Amino acid sequence: MAAGRNGFWQRILGIDRRWIFLLVGIGTALPLIFPVNLPVAASPRVKAAYNAIEAVPEGSRVLMSLDYEPDIMAELQPMSIAVLRHCFRRHLTPIILTLYPAGPGLIERALAVASTAEGAKNYQDYVFLGYKSGNQAVVLGLGENIKGLFPKDFYGASTDSITLMRHVNSFTDFPLLIDLSGSTIADYYIRIGASRYHRPMILGATAVMATDYYPYLSSRQILGLIGGMKGAAEYERLMGIVGDARRGMDAQSLVHVIVVILVLLGNAALFATGGIKPRIGGGS
Amino acid sequence: MRFGPLVVTFLTGAVLIAIFFIPHHRAQETQSVILEWADIVYTFALVLGSISLWAMHQKKVQQKGEGWIYSVVTLVALLGVTAFGVIQGVEAGTVVGRIYNMVNAPLASTMFSLLAFFIASAAFRAFRARNVEATLLLVTAIVMMVGRVSVGEFVWKGFPPLTEWLLDVPNLAAKRAVAIGIGLGAISTALKIILGIDRSYLGRS
Amino acid sequence: MGETIDTRWFEPARLNLLVGLLTFIAFLAINIRRAHASHEGLFIRPLAGLKALDEAIGRATEMGRPVLYLPGSGDMSEVGTLAAITISSRVARRVADLGCDLRVPCYDPVVAALIDGTTREAYREANRADSFRPGSVYYVSATQFAYVASVTGTMLRDRPAANIFMGSFYAESLFLAETGNLTGAIQIAGCDQVTQLPFFVCSCDYTLLGEELYAASAYLGREPNQLATIAAQDWAKALAAAAVVLALLLSAIGHPEFGQLLKTS
């Protein structure tokens, strides 16, 4: 009997990782098929980001840099949509650009969703400047001559002729900077836009990267931080909308619970077998 | 033969460090120009990389090495996308734009999503209470995993504030300490290269 | 709208950074002298990951399987990549000495060209120039997950006995490390991206944390000047820690001026 129990725990320790993958797959798919709509409470960091936009006077222009590609759109696209919708609701005019070559396609999709939901129109409620290569050089240039960097917007219109671009040519002309980034491009905006030009700034980042920016939050170099899909879900909650992030949190919650159960099971097996730990089985 | 690259490295590094302290507009313009040069050099390096990629896969096809069919796919894709990009451009609506949106983008998203599965298997294997430090790691990981999702609040109302405290205090303290170490290490490595102390990037002998 | 043109030749707000940099250079100069004066060489505490390098390469030689070296997915502007390039020459020398196979798939074409050169040089120094296999260092793709797909495919097909991850890694770190773990390779990682360290710690046998990556090249080469830079780093870290504690104590008793001196802009 003891040998049988030990055999069971040994099998748990040596479980083929494909069973783990299967459980995670089920845990991800089920809540998407049968939504639970678990409540999401907004954290102080996300509330601070929300309040920073709330504090901007109506009719102002804000500079938004949406710097992400398809691989991380699951975390950043819902964030972009929620923040864009917030800007439109507050009658702020986002001037949008991207430093990622694959960014424009995603931004157009985000703009389509946000503008449809809030009734916003191109050239009346927002301007999309498009993509510019150069990363740090571009951010430096935004501090001096935006129209020089972007003589035309994404759709080919001369930025000199766009009414919303009048009196706007550098960081100093914006009361708020918003950067939603999946890379270290955020560092350039913090160093140049927030620190050198003293612009109030809020930041959105992937969950893994967000913790890197906590020091900037505590030193007030950024006013708010939206981290990952959870941050996007919290922002949607503050906006009173149900978007992809809130739907995705159900799946994330279940998968986290599955992983915790597996970890506890693994530890129970370790104790039951007295610390014998064969390598877990491979897949191929 | 090494003297030239060493001098160029030293002068470029020294100039860029100096510009950091000089707000004069000419100095800042120089920095922008140098950054543009770096982009241009990188673009030529991409051409070099493509040539090396082509050579490697062409050899595999010629010698009918293992998996040579996939090398044919690589070569056709490399040639085709480059040709369409040069002829039509890369904006939305062009062939390259469509290939990027219909092939690259979904593939990249799929690959990224596989991380969720790998995290689960890595967590199962790594979070074991073998000693005191490992137990601390295990407990913290469980608290974070539960507290960072909606379920945490259901289990115990204290989970979200506990996770926020863990992120704001011990995590932030450790990150700052590691970041200071990395920053100093980065200065050290950069100075080694600028001053020519470390020349291994040129070949050592 | 009038534009103000800055014509100052020095930014006074950065004086503290200049003092810090000059102090660091002074520490470097002092330690280079110490290193050359010392017969035994400056002491560096052992780093388990680097001690295991020889074991890993030896294992690969015995098993007749290749060593896979990944220099990260950063480009030449990242210090982690520079560290990866310098370490690669050391690893290549060890591999050349023991006579096993080396594969170095690269994310960046410039990095690939540099590592190709340093690897050839390492084989020449080991009098094994003929053993160098052209094409062992190759450019894959500058797209993150295309690179990952290729490297994981290489891991699963070629089954390297040792995987060495050194440099700047991002989201692909767990992918690479877990796939390597699946194949049973011994894995040694060094990464300067703090966010990726937990993934390497979970999946690799040995991990160099943060600045240990930068110390690796000096550790492996044991050249006096290189060891001196590590000592200078440690002195600078001690000074930084002392300054922070002093600023904290002074601020606590109502004198924040010293802390203000440490502020950067």
**CB–CB contact B125 A266 (8 Å):** yes
Decide if B156 is inside a domain.
yes
Whether residue B194 sits in one domain with residue B177: yes
Q: Which residues of B touch C124 (CB under 8 A)?
A: 205
Decide if B3 is inside a domain.
yes
Q: Which residues of B touch C85 (CB under 8 A)?
A: 200-201
Q: Which residues of A touch B142 (CB under 8 A)?
A: 260, 263-264
Q: Which domain holds residue C248?
A: 12-41+225-261
The CATH code for residues A44-241 is 3.40.50.10160
In chain C, count H helices and then E strands. 10, 6
Non-local (6+) Cβ contacts of C130 within 8 A are none
Whether residue B81 sits in one domain with residue B7: yes
Q: How long, in residues, is chain B?
A: 205
Element (H, E) at C209: strand C206-209
**CB–CB contact C171 A169 (8 Å):** no
What are C141's two structure tokens? 């793709």
Which of B126, B155, B183 is a domain's end point?
A: B126
Q: Which residues of B touch A78 (CB under 8 A)?
A: none
ipTM over 0.90: no
Whether residue C160 sits in one domain with residue C112: yes
DSSP 8-state code for residue B197: S
Whether residue C169 sits in one domain with residue C87: yes
- Are A95 and A164 contacting, i.e. CB atoms less than 8 angstroms apart? yes
**CB–CB contact B101 A133 (8 Å):** no
Q: Which residues of C touch A284 (CB under 8 A)?
A: 156, 182
Q: How far apart are CA A192 and CA A190, in angstroms?
A: 6
Angle formed by the axes of helices A228-239 and A73-89, nearest 10°: 20
Tell me how crowded residue C210 is: count the other CB atoms within 10 A of its CB. Answer: 24
Residue C168 φ/ψ, nearest 5 degrees: -100, 115
Q: How far apart are CA C20 and CA C18, in angstroms?
A: 5
Decide if C5 is inside a domain.
no
Decide if C109 is inside a domain.
yes
Q: Which of A3-7, C90-94, C185-189 has the lowest mean pLDDT?
A: A3-7
Position B154 scores a pLDDT of 82
DSSP 8-state code for residue A182: S
Position A25 scores a pLDDT of 95
Closest to A259 in 3D by CA, of C138, B177, B142: B142
Q: How long, in residues, is chain C?
A: 265
Position A5 scores a pLDDT of 61
Domain total of chain C = 2
Whether residue C33 sits in one domain with residue C112: no
Whether residue B146 sits in one domain with residue B122: no
Whether residue B182 sits in one domain with residue B110: no
A75-87 residues labelled b (16+ CB within 10 A) or e (exposed): bbbbbbbbbbbbb
Provide the pairing of β-strand C162-168 with C186-191.
parallel
Whether residue B104 sits in one domain with residue B76: no
**CB–CB contact B116 A141 (8 Å):** no
CATH code of the domain in which C145 resides:
3.40.50
**CB–CB contact B92 A105 (8 Å):** yes
Whether residue C173 sits in one domain with residue C61: yes
pLDDT per residue, tens digit, chain A (284 aa), is: 555 667 888 888 889 999 999 999 999 999 989 988 888 889 999 999 999 999 999 999 999 999 998 888 889 999 999 999 999 999 999 999 999 988 898 999 999 999 999 999 999 999 999 999 888 889 988 998 999 999 999 999 999 999 999 989 899 999 999 999 988 899 999 999 998 899 999 999 999 889 889 889 988 999 999 999 999 999 999 999 999 999 999 999 999 999 999 999 999 999 898 874 444 443 33
* Nearest-Cα residue of chain B relative to residue A131: B91
**CB–CB contact B48 C148 (8 Å):** no
What are B22's two structure tokens? 């000089």
Q: Which residue has the tokens 């460090």?
A: B17
Decide if B203 is inside a domain.
no
Confidence at C243, pLDDT banded by 50, 70, 90? very high
Whether residue C213 sits in one domain with residue C87: yes
Confidence at C148, pLDDT banded by 50, 70, 90? very high
Residue segments in chain B with a per-residue pLDDT below the cut of 70: 1, 203-205
Decide if C3 is inside a domain.
no
Our CA-based measurement puts residue B205 at a distance from the nearest CA of chain A, in whole angstroms, of 36
The three-state secondary structure class of A112 is helix
Decide if B204 is inside a domain.
no
Whether residue C66 sits in one domain with residue C194: yes
**CB–CB contact A39 B179 (8 Å):** no
The three-state secondary structure class of A284 is coil
Q: Does the structure show a pLDDT above 60 at C3?
A: no
Whether residue B71 sits in one domain with residue B116: no
Query: Percent of chain C, pLDDT > 90?
Result: 64
Our CA-based measurement puts residue C249 at a distance from the nearest CA of chain B, in whole angstroms, of 17
Decide if B205 is inside a domain.
no
CA distances to A143, A189, C4, C21 from C11, rounded to whole Å, are 18, 20, 16, 15
Whether residue C81 sits in one domain with residue C194: yes
Q: Tell whether C166 is within 8 A of chain B (Cβ).
A: no
- Chains adjacent to A (≥3 CB pairs closer than 8 angstroms): B, C
Whether residue C162 sits in one domain with residue C142: yes
Our CA-based measurement puts residue A226 at a distance from the nearest CA of chain B, in whole angstroms, of 13
Side by side, the strands of the sheet bearing C102-106 are: C137-139, C102-106, C67-72, C162-168, C186-191, C206-209
All structural domains of chain A with their residue ranges: 2-37+247-272, 44-241
Q: Which domain holds residue B114?
A: 89-126
**CB–CB contact B200 C90 (8 Å):** yes
Residues 103-142 of B with CB under 8 A from A: 104-106, 108-109, 111-113, 116-117, 119-121, 123-125, 127-130, 138, 141-142
Q: Which residues of C touch B198 (CB under 8 A)?
A: 86, 217, 226
What are C202's two structure tokens? 């979970």
Q: How far apart are CA C90 and CA B204, in angstroms?
A: 10
Domain total of chain B = 3
